[in-house]
Structure 1
Amino acid sequence: MLVFVLVLGLLAACNGGGDKPASDDGKGEEASGEPQKGGTLTGAMDTPPEGVFNPIYYTSAYEANILDFTHEGLLTQNKDLEFIENLAESWEFNDDQTEVTFKLRENAKWHDGEPFTADDVVFTYKTLSTPGYAEAGGVRQDFAVRLLGYEEFSTGASTEFPGVVAVDDHTVTFKFAAPNVTALKDASFDIIPEHIFKDVPIADIPKHEGTLEAGKVIGTGPFKFTEMVDGEQYVLERNEDYWQGAPYLDKIVWRIVDQAVILGMLENGEVDFVAEPNGFQAADYETVDAMENLEIIEQPDFGYQIMGFMVNHRTPEDAASGAIKPENWVPNEKLSNKNVRQAIAYAVNRQGLIDGLLYGQGNVINAPIATQFPAYDDEKPNQYKFDPKKAKEMLDKEGYVDTNNDGFREDPQGNEWVLTMNYPTGNKLRERSAPIIQEMLQDVGIKVDLRQPMEFPVYAEALEKDNQDWDIYLLGWSLDSGDPDPSGLWSTDAGYNYGRWNNPEADQLLLDAMKAPEAFDAEYRNKVYSDWQVKFQDDLPALILYAQNSLWAHNKRLQGVDELPYSMINKPHLWWVTE
């Protein structure tokens, strides 16, 4: 599922695949014996959730650390990124790939004891498609846009929602406007309970107790979200009626801990694990590896860090209402010239950031598609190798020169040219990288106003509200593992398209990559995505800074961990502790 966060380490790519062993000294051996029931497991996050515990509205990976235990979709994925059964026990396509029918598990229940049915599936997708969803802060439209009748229903032109149909209590059919190459991904979104939200207006769902309050957030997952001290601690308790059987653990407790003290707490056993989105820092690898009580999980991250450019801004009216209307967008004159954005890219020593901050445990990537997908192209897109001389030459050519000998360039009209740079607190790598990037840009004559970092919830709100005086923003993306399609982040009308990039040619390529029947040919689709990646790197709405390794760690008393390429949280009902 698509989420954003700080390292996100906001997050994926190293040469080679698979997990690396923590050591060769036998530290990774599992405890002997049968799984034991009981016990509490404590995890650490360095940033608190924003407080929106609803799959259709949350926006940060910190909420995901709660929701991954409480909510489920019809399908999940295995280590090969293939879709497998979850709340659905089977599925069948029609001949032309425009419909897929799922048989649902009859023993699945919501945390409050209500039965899970096809009506919940219909309600979830209908809500994603309801007029006003985006205005209320929703950004998950991409899971619904290919449904039959989506356009008419989402704009209010029709009150009929034919895209998802309950055949009976335990059978549901997804109907698409055209043959859909991403049908299983689209049908895998986490389901929310109709009986909780059916009478709640769409604008009020983000403020509803079923979205905000521990004990009121209801899912079908193995753990219930029962208690929280906001900004400090979040408690999940075993779901005794879980359809796959009651979990072994009694509780999982998330504690909010400053990144600087997480290692000490791991070593002394106050914290049992640290995982996504930020894990532990590359600089601490040897320290963690030397801790006899810990197991390290290292693998390529499923995402990347960016330096985003505010190419356009929404009007204050559209920003206030949440409307995304590209026809109203106002160009940001300081960065609207793509050659200026390209010059900035040449001025940033990305490999230097990797070597200095990530201790080499990451890669420069040049396209916003996870490297685990065959669609990723590491050759054709512009590589933007560090070249400050070229950066200066490009800026000179565009008329950005120092006219008053103060060491900084003025714009072509001779006015002071200052770029604001904004970033959040919480992730030490990002906090350390911001002044380094500022210095790199100032080395080629670009004056940068490095703002004071914001607490992440405040930062996220400012991004979503389209703060008009922002030019450059630092962020990370944790990517959807279901499909390489990047439109949920980078299409013009995507809610997460914070830089308000508007490129019709790039949008058309994204549409072409989904167009049947050609899109069912993997070679064709990879070629179209290659063309899109070239277009992205040319127009450059953001510079991808790096993709770092995921570095997760857990106490060896925790057993049953079966991590996925994109998450440590997998089958947590089978986790157990030895003491």
Structure 2
Amino acid sequence: MVGMILAACNSDGETEKGETTETKPEDVTETDTAEEDATEEAGPKKGGTIVGAMYSAPTGMFNPIFYEEAYESNILDFTHEGLVTQNEKLEFIASLAEKWESNDDQTEITFFLREGVKWHDGEDFTAEDVVYTYQAMSDPDYEMAGGVRVNYVAPLLGYEAYQSGETDEFVGVVADGDYKVTFKFTEPNVSPLYYASFPIIPKHIFKDIPVKDITEAAESKEPGKVVGTGPFKFADMIEREQYILERNEDYWKGAPLLDSIVWKVIAQSVMIGLLEKGEIDFVASPGGIAPADHDIVADFGNINIVEQADFGYQLMGFKLNHRTTADVESGAVTPDNWIPNKKLSDPKVRQAIAHAVNRQGLVGTGHGEGLLHGRGQPINSPIAQQMWAYDESAATNYEYDVDKAGQILDELGYVDVTGDGFREDPEGNEWILNLDYPTGNELRERSAPILQSDLEKAGIKVNLRQPAEMSVYVPALTNDNTDFDLYLIGWSLSSTDPDPAGLWATRAGYNFSRWNNPKSEELMQKAVTAPEAFDQAYRKDVYAEWQKLYSEDLPALLLYAQNSLWAYNDRIQGIKILPATMYQDSHEWWVEN
């Protein structure tokens, strides 16, 4: 692209030395007029609609503090914003906050907010909205209502007392006037901008709704009532079919050029055909285009493909513990009450299962083999590969070795007693592992029977259950007072900090394995505790130790990190590709026609 621009400047901007042109007067007039018309037509234009495709419908939660899926994020990325965002180097840059400053001991960070920012309903954005957002996530009823973003508020000053109900005074985030707000931390904080980066919700909309009722409120679910500060408004939807975003004329960076963005829910198998016909304009997160379709799409001519390492991975999780029915009904996440899943409680059993899975076979080599056709790689560490803390060498690499898997199980007493080709447990009881997975992601759906086949080659009987829609699957994983053993899921990781606590801390809402390892808790806390944690090299060493522990205790087997394959029609202009998103500055997007 740079080469093309340079060439254009050279050929259009001046005439080569020694070259002369004789032109008739009337030709000059015609040429000048044409150039003026071309100039008027060139550049950004206002108006038009683009259509994006996602292959699974959002569950219907469009409130940033409660949403759980990337499908809702496809809406919220355009409607809501945080105090800061990130650039192409993953550095934090200003967004709703213009600037910030920290105190000397790094226990406080003060943000100076932009004035004149409006919510979609015309109300002013102020510091009180920031305070309310973090207070709601610290509320005693937040987790019971299904909130999983506790990691953003747990380090705040007074969080435990407020969350437990010991006090009704929230002191973690404090407003000083309308446009100044201070985050206060219990201890010196090594990454305060990460904690302050969460999307803000409007106080005037939610202040009179109890936190426990926010998930059922129309203001969290219905088009026209979901209110943010972002460049587009959530205007309309045909549930489970399409979701319409319309231009926010009062957007603080300037009104978007596009009239609207329409999201359509489309089966992955037909996406590329619609992309070729121009019936959809872009396919990005989550999943993008299928690896097997890359070469086909590349030949379309009117489609741009972006391929880069994904901020995330697919995994096969082990349900190590289950919550009690009483805890599920009350919304409590109480590790002391968890019921161990004896079928998978021994880490050596989990390690044997890991050796039985042909992960490289899933990825393939790029010559048509595997689900990914080589566009990705098996990984052993649950930290994004792009992050400075990622250390593949620290983690155990479970190479595909059916004989080794069988040897481990034999030594543990898991042997075939009945002669049916499948192993019984050490007590001689039938040993069957239930494998659950969601619909939507075609690669994940196709991987489920392959995983079943891999495990059965090692004598592990697998009950492959009917897949469920994501809107049913995620609540079942969250409640987990069920007979889940193995589960498939994919995670899109944060690009802001490598701290894995949001997914793997014992009480984390997304810790679907219900992993409860005190050493893991100790290391994750150690990695963010000042003053040592201000040294990135120190944090890297601690996270290396944590990655080693994770891969040995193995709450989940990481299957692969797929390359992101985003595709968009070349009629869309102004798209900025960042390491983790292509949705940045969508107010600058425009279309040629």
Letter in 2 for 1:101: T
- Alignment counterpart, residue 392 of structure 1, candidates 389, 406, 424: 406
Distance in 2 between the 1:300 and 1:36 partners?
A: 32
2:318: which partner in 1? 309
Distance in 2 between the 1:376 and 1:431 partners?
A: 28
Distance in 1 between the 2:113 and 2:142 partners?
A: 27
- Higher RCO, 1 vs 2 (CA within 8 Å, ≥6 residues apart): 1
Distance in 1 between the 2:101 and 2:587 partners?
A: 28
User: CA offset at residue 512 of structure 1?
Assistant: 0.2
Equivalence map 1:189-208=2 (5 Å): 189-208=198-217
Deviations 1:326-346 (A, max 9, x none): 000110000011100000000
Equivalence map 1:41-56=2 (5 Å): 41-56=50-65
Distance in 2 between the 1:132 and 1:367 partners?
A: 33
Distance in 1 between the 2:197 and 2:394 partners?
A: 32
2:516: which partner in 1? 502
Equivalence map 1:179-328=2 (5 Å): 179-328=188-337
Letter in 2 for 1:301: D
- Alignment counterpart, residue 492 of structure 2, candidates 474, 478, 481: 478
Letter in 2 for 1:217: V
For the Cα contact (< 8 Å) 2:174–2:182, is it kept in 1?
yes
- Alignment counterpart, residue 460 of structure 2, candidates 426, 446, 468: 446
1:13: which partner in 2? none
- Alignment counterpart, residue 424 of structure 1, candidates 438, 460, 467: 438
SS in 1 for 2:176: strand
What are structure 1's unaligned runs of at least 5 residues?
A: 1-18
Q: Indicate yes or no: 2:590 matched with 1:569.
A: no
User: CA offset at residue 183 of structure 1?
Assistant: 0.6
User: CA offset at residue 573 of structure 1?
Assistant: 0.3
Q: Indicate yes or no: 2:138 matched with 1:120.
A: no
User: CA offset at residue 319 of structure 1?
Assistant: 1.6
Give structure 1 regions of 4+ aligned residues with deviation exceeding 6 angstroms.
Answer: none
2:450: which partner in 1? 436
SS in 2 for 1:379: helix
Higher helix share goes to which structure?
2
Deviations 1:283-336 (A, max 9, x none): 000000000110111111000000000001111111222211000011000001
- Alignment counterpart, residue 363 of structure 1, candidates 356, 369, 377: 377
The structure whose Rg is larger is 2
TM-score, normalising length: structure 2: 0.92
- Alignment counterpart, residue 170 of structure 1, candidates 179, 186, 190: 179
For the Cα contact (< 8 Å) 2:324–2:481, is it kept in 1?
no
Please identify, of 319-328 and 101-110, the stretch whose mean Cα deviation from structure 2 is larger. 319-328
1:81: which partner in 2? 90
Please identify, of 318-327 and 299-308, the stretch whose mean Cα deviation from structure 2 is larger. 318-327
Q: Indicate yes or no: 2:566 matched with 1:549.
A: no
Compute the RMSD of aligned alpha carbons: 1.3
Distance in 2 between the 1:396 and 1:412 partners?
A: 9
Distance in 1 between the 2:92 and 2:330 partners?
A: 37
2:161: which partner in 1? 152
Q: Indicate yes or no: 2:148 matched with 1:134.
A: no
Figure out how many residues of one structure are paired with residues of the other and give that number: 552
For the Cα contact (< 8 Å) 2:573–2:591, is it kept in 1?
yes
Distance in 2 between the 1:467 and 1:254 partners?
A: 34
Equivalence map 1:525-544=2 (5 Å): 525-544=539-558
Equivalence map 1:504-523=2 (5 Å): 504-523=518-537
- Alignment counterpart, residue 490 of structure 1, candidates 501, 504, 517: 504
2:396: which partner in 1? 382
Distance in 1 between the 2:277 and 2:496 partners?
A: 37
SS in 2 for 1:255: strand
Distance in 2 between the 1:367 and 1:507 partners?
A: 17
Distance in 2 between the 1:257 and 1:99 partners?
A: 46
SS in 1 for 2:117: coil
Distance in 2 between the 1:455 and 1:59 partners?
A: 14
Distance in 2 between the 1:314 and 1:272 partners?
A: 43
1:15: which partner in 2? none
SS in 2 for 1:100: strand
Letter in 1 for 2:533: A
User: CA offset at residue 33 of structure 1?
Assistant: 2.3
- Alignment counterpart, residue 33 of structure 1, candidates 42, 50, 53: 42
User: CA offset at residue 387 of structure 1?
Assistant: 1.0
Letter in 1 for 2:288: G
Distance in 2 between the 1:566 and 1:318 partners?
A: 36
User: CA offset at residue 182 of structure 1?
Assistant: 1.8
Distance in 2 between the 1:469 and 1:354 partners?
A: 29
SS in 2 for 1:357: coil
User: CA offset at residue 438 of structure 1?
Assistant: 0.3
Distance in 1 between the 2:577 and 2:123 partners?
A: 30
Distance in 1 between the 2:424 and 2:104 partners?
A: 61
SS in 2 for 1:442: helix
Distance in 2 between the 1:50 and 1:149 partners?
A: 33
Distance in 2 between the 1:386 and 1:158 partners?
A: 54
Letter in 1 for 2:159: Y
What are structure 2's unaligned runs of at least 5 residues?
A: 9-38, 365-369
User: CA offset at residue 44 of structure 1?
Assistant: 0.5
User: CA offset at residue 464 of structure 1?
Assistant: 1.1
User: CA offset at residue 467 of structure 1?
Assistant: 3.9
User: CA offset at residue 233 of structure 1?
Assistant: 0.7
1:14: which partner in 2? none
Distance in 1 between the 2:577 and 2:302 partners?
A: 19
Distance in 2 between the 1:113 and 1:572 partners?
A: 20
SS in 1 for 2:174: strand
Distance in 1 between the 2:330 and 2:515 partners?
A: 19
User: CA offset at residue 114 of structure 1?
Assistant: 0.1
SS in 2 for 1:500: coil
Deviations 1:344-391 (A, max 9, x none): 000001011000000000011111000001100111211011111110
1:108: which partner in 2? 117
Letter in 2 for 1:547: A
Percent of paired sites with the same residue = 59
User: CA offset at residue 132 of structure 1?
Assistant: 1.0
